[in-house]
Amino acid sequence: SVQSQADWGHFADQAGDQIILDDIRQLTQLARQHYPGLPLVLFGHSMGSFFTRYYLTKYGAEIDGAILSGTGQQSLLELTFGQALTTLIRTARGPKYRSKLVDDLAFANLNKAFADGRTTRDWLTRDEAIVDFHLSDPRCNFMFTVTAYRDLFRCYQTAQDPARVGKIPKDKPVLVLAGEKDPVSGFGQGARKAHNQLRQAGLSRTQIKLYPGYRHEILNEIGREVVYADIVQWIQTQVIGSGQL
């Protein structure tokens, strides 16, 4: 676990993406042990949605369903460039170096569609109280190391690899959720591409819902109760009511 604030935004010096995946698996196994017989649905938001997609390609049989929130479909060219750039900077400056250049490449354009708004984080949600909290909390305002960014880019590429997606159990229930004003999900288009890729891989029980007007943090949006209700209904009908447990 994180020992100090200096460790925020750094997974590990090597293979951080695999370590995160192993941590997720360990937690799901603990959940199974503590709550035997109950359905286990893995929920991943934003960065977590890509790790959930990665998880599905390796350990999909170990969970009963997955929810991908605020996910998208990243350009292979951009991911390849990102890995090359972070590797180059890491070699020159060390594994824990924090690069404003890389951070800007990852985040600078997210607020572009909301440039006339109140803050630089208006892309997160229309709920101003949540935005202000996000801006004031140091745990929401740290920069990733170049190594962590490389881990993320590698995770994203792996999660989208058609050969790996093809290994996800075909009958696995997967729900894709995103706001139509979410730049991370390509304003809904990236989420659609992610859903279509799952369909093309043969997954027969995938669903997608896009929320008009909602931004990135759909669980912290104005009207979040609608999302909560949709999630509960989906679990009840597609996981609990499926008879697969």
Residue 5 lies in a domain: no
Please report whether residue 33 resides in a domain: no
- HEC assignment per residue over 52-99: HHHHHHHHHHHCCEEEEECCCCCCHHHHHHHHHHHHHHHHHHCCCCCC
Domain hosting residue 147, numbered range? 12-25+41-242
Distance CA 208, CA 38 (A): 24
Both tokens of residue 62? 């170990």
Q: pTM, whole model, 2 decimals?
A: 0.95
* Distance in angstroms (rounded) separating the CA atoms of residues 115 and 154: 30
- CATH code where residue 225 lies: 3.40.50.1820
Q: Which tokens sit at 108?
A: 């600078």
Whether residue 184 is contained in a domain is answered as yes
pLDDT along the chain (245 residues), means of 10: 86 97 98 96 99 99 98 96 98 98 94 93 98 96 97 98 98 98 98 98 98 98 98 96 54
Region label for 182, one of left (φ > 0), alpha (ψ between -120 and 50) or beta (otherwise): beta
User: Is 1 inside any structural domain?
Assistant: no
Backbone angles phi, psi at 74, to 5 degrees: -85, 150
Residue 30 in any domain: the answer is no
CA distance 219 to 225: 8
Does a structural domain hold residue 155? yes
Domain count, the chain: 1
Residue 84 lies in a domain: yes
Domain-located, residue 119: yes
Task: Identify the DSSP state of 145.
Answer: P
How crowded is the C-beta side of 87, counted as CA atoms within 13 Å?
Answer: 9
